[in-house]
Amino acid sequence: MTTPLFAVECVRKCYGGLTAVCDVSLELAEGDLVGLIGPNGAGKTTCFNLITGADTCSAGRVLWEGRNVTSLPDFRRARLGLARTFQNIRLWADMTALDNVRAVCRGSEEAGWIDGLLRTPRHHRVERLVTGKSLALLARLGIERFADTRAGDLPYGPQRKLEIARALALEPRVLLLDEPAAGMNPAEKTDLMRMVEGLRRDLGLTILLIEHDMRFVMGICERIYVLDHGERIAHGTPAEIRRDPKVIAAYLGTESPC
Amino acid sequence: MDLPWLPLALTLGPTGLWWSHLLVTVGVYALLGLSLNLINGYGRMFSLGHHGFWALGAYAAALFTRSYEGELPGPVLLALSAFFGMGVAALGGLAIGIPCLRLKGDYLAVATLGFAEIVRISIQNLPEGLLGGNIGLSVPRVLMEVEPATRGTFLLAWCAILLACVAVVALLVRNVVRSARGRTLLAVAQDETAAGLLGINPTRAKVATFVLGSALAGLAGALYAHYQGTIAPQEFTFLEMVKMLLVVVLGGLGSISGCLVAAFLLIYIEQALQLAGQETLPLGVPPLPASWTWLAQWWSVVYALILVLLMVFRPRGIFGPRELPEVLRAWWRRRRPGEAAR
Amino acid sequence: MLLDDYLLNGLGLGAIYAFIALGYTMVYGIIRLINFAHGEVFMVGAYLGMFALRDLGLERLPLPQPWPVIVSIVTTLLLAGLGAGLLAVVIERLAYRPVRRAGRIAALLTAVGISLLLQNVMLRVFTATPRAGPVAREWYALDDLPEVAPNDLYVDRLLHLTDGSTAHDTEMVAAQGAALPPQTRERLAAEGEGGLYAKAEFSKREHQVFVLVLLCLFAPALWFLVKRTRMGKAMRAVSEDQDAARLMGIPIDRVVTATFFLGAFVAGVGGVVYSATYGKVEPMLGFLPGIKAFVAAVIGGIGSIPGALLGGLLLGVTEALLPLGLRALGWQEAFGWTDAIAFAFLILVLLVKPTGLLGVPFKEKV
């Protein structure tokens, strides 16, 4: 069995007396498109936080290509190739859309402080490279016309797309999407579904997404994990999940006798 | 130190002398404002200890010049001294930045304030043979002796030095902000958590900015010390920090041109008020009635009032986070509504 | 001096810091503002106390000693507290409330501005010369003087100067422990004017014990207020989540005003005691204690009332004892560096506990 690209094993997160995430295990193989669902408050975003390092695990491990990265700070995990978007948009509002992407973009070369201060040839080289890549990413998501607009002034849809573009600037291997379809109408959601599939196909990404829209999740995910009250209650294909009585109970409450 | 431009001294009348001194002072505060803008404006870090780096730079440069006086030609000594001051201030920034920059907002403000106070108290309490204590430390003249005949030349020379430095530093700040590292800093400033999760090391960005800002404050200190001729710890109090803060906030956090304009305005008003009621005024100073001299005495109160009123009515400052060309363009567009329809 | 003298010094000073720190911490807890002007409110309280004690004349009440002194002191403390509280309310209404929405830097700069404003206004009005701190006096009529003077006996006369103003002229007429000489008694009886008083002088030690007693009274009172009363609950609600509190119908503005008043009241009382203990009042009185008290509040964890108490006492004791220890280790000039030591202590605490000793770590929701 190939080593999964990344996995979390029995992670737990306790806030004082409340256990937000309890002994949850997930794994993703390269190229997977997996969904993470569950009722509100199930601990999905907390899981994301534990995976990305925004929060520290009270117990358990996070593994990247078999390596234990649990103690690695968030920015190092990101540099390994783990990118994410946020449930509430967290763009850098006072920067332009282009700058939002350029800030994350890294080339093989890095321009340091001296390069920036003195405008060395390296600075110009890196600027050209980074600007080119960033514009390409904006174009891929269809928002290149907003390149010089202040991110905070953008309409909601382009903002969500900018979040994705920014995450892609990391040239990640794994992309975590936190409710990417929130606030979109059905047409936009269909577009997004196609785009997510396209990203996986064209960029070879592995994707884990949190979503509430069942049509969205069932429509593109190959596998689905279900959380409820911090515990993993089910795992399987969309078809299996749809029929799983525990999942139904979690979303609809216990069945009535009649 | 005989310099070939000595004859110029005779042509500088009271107007020239007043304005030269003004511009030098403006220059010092502009440098302080620009460097503080990096930290508090672009970086949105809350430093209240900038005057500590100013002091470090001033005293380090003073000590350097005192040690090497006579061994090096004047301008060279000045330059090396300035670099030394910058270096010491930068080290100070590193020393205080690394531990403290993970503190949030108000806690950082208090820690930096504490640091600056430690610097000042240390200067006061160290043996007088070392740093001059409360009496002050004298800084040898490296460019020329200041006699009445050469005063004009002296002032013009310093004017030139300061304006050149301000221009260079303004350019450097602009360069940095529009570079890769600059974008990193802005990202960390606007949402540190998101930046961290997207691969940016927030501590490294903040510390580097802090070190750069403190180095530039050290430059201001070095120049200030050499211009003044003597420095004393009483000149590096929290009130000075408030002045710097006012320059930055009045100009608009994150605006280079705003910073320069604000520094000029504040120092100009301060100096002009002190001439209120005088008969002969330098050109460019409006004749103010003698009754306004009370304003000059109450100037610290006025500063405070300006600060409060500014915060209540226009916290963005004169230019907000924009630069002068953009402001002019926006104003022009509003005067010509036809062109605005784009 | 003995070790426990230093300790009491430290505790007494620490109690004053705690008084001021309470105001800082309460205001910060409610609106996340470092009220830089708080030290100046403390200073104004001291001035009010000095004037109240001197000019209200409550000490001349026709009651048996020591009651007039007690009434006078209590009234002075109350008035100083009220005056300081009122000042804080005015500041909040005029300067802080308009900038509440403008962001942290704006609010902080406003506070700095108000602080400078108060300092400089007082400097212009009262000049930088320190005045004598409030001293309680026991007044006696010539007829019911005790046999032996309990303390140096003075006579206080009101002089009317040529330019219309009045001045006080004091003359010592008997030393402590001595009896009033008969010739002096006749002379004073013939004059008819003026009053006789002995300064009800308390030793520094007694002052410090007094302030500690006050602290022991205030602290539980405040705890009760915050934990048990409706206003206290409202304060805690607002400090946890202002928007939710507003939605629940809590009158935010009134709660904030009450918080400011309370914190300033306590600081004003502290100001009177401080100036009485150290014997002087001056416009810059609040500057250093203000910063130190703020340091104390941060050390204890800003936003936490027990933290303010702990931080204040800890800082006071450290300030008193650490230089002593350092001097014992050979560093002779340690005492000149007391203030620097206080700041260094602050930075050290923040390094280990970034939100103070009892502070709540700020967890961000991603």
Confidence at residue B5, expressed as pLDDT on a 0 to 100 scale: 42
Query: What CA–CA distance (Å, rounded) separates A52 from B195?
Result: 12
Confidence at residue C360, expressed as pLDDT on a 0 to 100 scale: 67
| pLDDT (tens digit per residue) in B165-187 | 999 999 999 999 999 999 999 99
How far does C334 lie from chain B, in Å, by closest CA?
10
DSSP letters, C138-194, are EEE-STT--SS-SS-EEEEEEEE-TTS-EEEEEEEEE-TTPPPPHHHHHHHHHH--S
Q: Taking an 8 Å Cβ-Cβ cutoff, which residues of chain C contact chain B?
A: 28, 32, 34, 95, 98-99, 102-110, 112-117, 120-121, 124, 291, 294-295, 298, 302, 333, 336-337, 339-340, 343-344, 346-347, 350-351, 354-355, 362, 364, 366
Q: Which residues of A touch B198 (CB under 8 A)?
A: 75, 78, 83-84, 103-104, 166-167, 169-170
Q: Would you call B181 and A118 a contact, using CB atoms and an 8 Å cutoff?
A: no
Do C126 and C151 lie in one domain? The reply is no
Confidence at residue A244, expressed as pLDDT on a 0 to 100 scale: 87
Query: What CA–CA distance (Å, rounded) separates C6 from B16?
Result: 59
- Helix or strand holding residue C347 (H, E): helix C338-352
- Identify whether the C-beta of residue C14 lies closer than 8 Å to the C-beta of residue C249: no
Asked whether residue C262 is domain-assigned, the answer is: yes
- Identify whether the C-beta of residue C53 lies closer than 8 Å to the C-beta of residue C131: no
Confidence at residue B272, expressed as pLDDT on a 0 to 100 scale: 82
Average pLDDT score over residue span B10-15? 66
Query: What CA–CA distance (Å, rounded) separates B119 from C161?
Result: 49
Confidence at residue B11, expressed as pLDDT on a 0 to 100 scale: 56
CA-nearest of B313, B188, B317, B305 to B248 is B317
| pLDDT (tens digit per residue) in B249-287 | 888 888 899 999 999 999 988 888 777 767 677 777 777
Inform me whether the pLDDT recorded for A227 exceeds 70: yes
Domain boundary among C145, C178, C199: C199
Do C233 and C338 lie in one domain? The reply is yes
Residue B213's pLDDT band, with cuts at 50, 70 and 90, is very high
Q: Would you call A95 and B198 a contact, using CB atoms and an 8 Å cutoff?
A: no
Direct distance between the N- and C-terminal alpha carbons of chain A, in angstroms, rounded to an integer: 45
Q: Which residue did the predictor score with more confidence, A75 or A248?
A: A75
Alpha-carbon torsion (C311, C317, C322, C323), positive or negative = positive
Asked whether residue C366 is domain-assigned, the answer is: no
Q: What is the pLDDT of chain B when averaged over all its residues?
A: 85
- Identify whether the C-beta of residue B17 lies closer than 8 Å to the C-beta of residue B155: yes
Query: What CA–CA distance (Å, rounded) separates C100 from C108?
Result: 10
Inform me whether the pLDDT recorded for A234 exceeds 60: yes
Query: What CA–CA distance (Å, rounded) separates A61 from A42?
Result: 20
Q: Is B204 on the interface with A (CB under 8 A)?
A: no
Do C94 and C178 lie in one domain? The reply is no
Enumerate the H helices of chain A as residue ranges: 44-52, 74-81, 97-104, 113-118, 121-140, 156-168, 186-203, 214-220, 238-243, 245-252
Q: Which residues of A touch B195 (CB under 8 A)?
A: 75, 92, 103
- Helix, strand, coil shares of chain C as percentages rounded to 5? 70, 10, 25
Q: Which residue did the predictor score with more confidence, C205 or B204?
A: B204
How far does A146 lie from chain B, in Å, by closest CA?
15
Asked whether residue C363 is domain-assigned, the answer is: no
Domain boundary among C146, C168, C199: C199
Q: Is A14 on the interface with C (CB under 8 A)?
A: no
* Percent of chain B whose pLDDT exceeds 90: 43
Nearest chain A alpha carbon to B198: A78
* Domain assignment of residue C174, given as a range: 137-199
Provide the number of CB pairs (under 8 Å) joining chain A to chain C: 6
What ipTM was estimated for this complex? 0.87
| pLDDT (tens digit per residue) in B123-168 | 888 877 778 878 888 888 877 767 776 777 788 889 999 999 999 9
In chain C, the number of structural domains is 2
Do C119 and C208 lie in one domain? The reply is yes
Q: Which residues of C touch B191 (CB under 8 A)?
A: none
**Residue A136: CB atoms within 10 Å:** 13
Splitting chain C (366 residues) into consecutive groups of 10 residues, what average pLDDT does each group show? Answer: 80 92 90 88 92 78 74 89 95 88 77 85 83 77 72 76 74 75 76 68 80 87 86 86 86 91 93 88 87 87 86 89 79 73 84 77 59
**What is the pTM assigned to this prediction?**
0.85
Do C128 and C244 lie in one domain? The reply is yes
Confidence at residue B341, expressed as pLDDT on a 0 to 100 scale: 47
Query: What CA–CA distance (Å, rounded) separates C187 from C179?
Result: 15
Do C79 and C108 lie in one domain? The reply is yes
Contacting partners of chain A (3+ CB pairs under 8 A): B, C
Inform me whether the pLDDT recorded for B12 exceeds 70: no
Residues of chain C numbered 278-337 and touching chain A (CB < 8 Å): none
- Helix or strand holding residue C132 (H, E): strand C131-132
State the virtual CA torsion across A49, A54, A57, A62 in degrees, nearest 10.
Answer: 70
Tokens of B285: 């100073």
Q: Is A86 on the interface with C (CB under 8 A)?
A: yes
Asked whether residue C182 is domain-assigned, the answer is: yes
Smallest Cβ–Cβ distance between B107 and the set C99, C336, C350 belongs to C350
Query: What CA–CA distance (Å, rounded) separates C84 from C267?
Result: 8
Query: What CA–CA distance (Å, rounded) separates A7 from A225?
Result: 13
DSSP letters, C187-246, are HHHHH--SEEEEE----HHHHHHHHHHHHHHHHHHHHHHHHHSHHHHHHHHHHH-HHHHH
Q: Which residue did the predictor score with more confidence, B6 or B169?
A: B169
Asked whether residue C83 is domain-assigned, the answer is: yes
Inform me whether the pLDDT recorded for B2 exceeds 70: no
- Helix or strand holding residue C126 (H, E): helix C104-126
Nearest chain A alpha carbon to B202: A75
Residue A21's pLDDT band, with cuts at 50, 70 and 90, is confident
Do C106 and C68 lie in one domain? The reply is yes
Q: Which residues pair with C62 in a beta bridge?
A: none
Domains along chain A with CATH numbers: 6-90+171-252 (3.40.50.300), 92-153 (no CATH)
Domain boundary among C175, C199, C223: C199
- Helix or strand holding residue C261 (H, E): helix C252-278
Q: Which residues of B touch C100 (CB under 8 A)?
A: none
Exposed, middle or buried by CB within 10 Å (0-12, 13-18, 19+), for A96?
A: middle
Asked whether residue C361 is domain-assigned, the answer is: no
Q: What's phi and psi for B139, nearest 5 deg?
A: -115, 120
Do C282 and C164 lie in one domain? The reply is no
Do C125 and C257 lie in one domain? The reply is yes
Asked whether residue C74 is domain-assigned, the answer is: yes
Inform me whether the pLDDT recorded for B1 exceeds 60: no
Do C92 and C71 lie in one domain? The reply is yes
The domain that holds C259 is classified in CATH as 1.10.3470
Do C220 and C340 lie in one domain? The reply is yes
Domains along chain B with CATH numbers: 6-340 (1.10.3470)
Inform me whether the pLDDT recorded for A145 exceeds 70: yes
Query: What CA–CA distance (Å, rounded) separates B47 from A56?
Result: 29
Q: Which residues of A touch B191 (CB under 8 A)?
A: 90-92
* Percent of chain B whose pLDDT exceeds 70: 90
> Does residue C361 sit in helix, strand or coil?
coil
Asked whether residue C365 is domain-assigned, the answer is: no
Query: What CA–CA distance (Å, rounded) separates A24 from A233?
Result: 9
User: For testing the chain C interface, which of A51, A55, A77, A179 should be mutated: the one with the most C CBs within 10 Å?
Assistant: A55
CA-nearest of A2, A15, A17, A36 to A177 is A36
Q: Which residues of C touch A54 (CB under 8 A)?
A: 366
Strand duo A206-210 + A223-228: pairing: unpaired
Residue A110's pLDDT band, with cuts at 50, 70 and 90, is confident
Q: Which residue did the predictor score with more confidence, B244 or C63?
A: B244
| pLDDT (tens digit per residue) in A165-215 | 999 999 999 999 999 888 888 888 898 899 899 988 988 899 999 998 888
Do C168 and C222 lie in one domain? The reply is no
Pick from A90-94, A229-233, B155-159, C58-62: least confident: C58-62
> Does residue A233 sit in helix, strand or coil?
strand
Q: Is C362 on the interface with A (CB under 8 A)?
A: no
